[in-house]
Amino acid sequence: MNIKKKNLLFIDNSRPVSNGSIGGSINSMIQLIARLDKNRYNIHMLLYYKFPILENQLKSLEIITIYRNNSLLSRGNKVKKKIRNILPFYSDLFIIKNFKQIDYLSSIIKKYKIDIVHANNRINANILCLLAAKRCAVPYIQHQRVFENKLSFTAKINKNYPAFYFSISNSIKDNIHEIVNVSEKKIKLIHNWINPDFLIKSNEGD
């Protein structure tokens, strides 16, 4: 009996550093994907920026890659960023300003007939992904890799939509329970798998 594969969409909005390398969040996400049963899942990955260093690895894992931006945008002013972070409701204003991204993300979910959306950062940073999944009535997993100090209003009223929160440590698990304020039943502890040789070996020449 053939089992119908589910279509998974992993979303990461990380930027490459100046030398084009990647951070631990993407590396550990890829290692998580590598452990998934390809007989049960079709893996799609939406990256906001291209990472040439990843090309061979993504192909070897049979990941369908979608790029949001083909070029790296300049980083914002650090002083302005700090000011924005202390302004009340800034996160919610950001959602209004970038509302079209929800349309874009929804179109990706529909185009590839996605069954589960997995966002790879934290709920405040991934709120547009959550809202797109919710609009499409698709289950959503929030991979929480960073501590939350407080939630935006939009995150607060949608915090229970994720089917699960994946936490990379016990301390972040506690932070999700206390700050995000969701049931512990929704929180799953999944430690990072960081193997420095994993990325290098998979990208070695022919």
Q: Is 22 helix (H, G, I), strand (E, B) or coil?
A: coil
- Could you read off the pLDDT of 148-189 as tens digits, one per residue? 998 989 999 999 999 999 999 999 999 999 999 999 999 999
Whether residue 43 contacts residue 11, with contact meaning beta carbons closer than 8 Å, is answered with: no
> Hey, how many other C-beta atoms are within 10 angstroms of the C-beta on 148?
18
Angstrom distance (rounded) from CA 124 to CA 131:
11
> Is 50 exceeded by the pLDDT of residue 92?
yes
pTM: 0.82
- Could you read off the pLDDT of 4-59 as tens digits, one per residue? 899 999 999 877 666 666 777 888 888 889 989 999 999 999 998 887 788 888 88
Please give the distance of CA 185 from its chain centroid, rounded to a whole number.
21
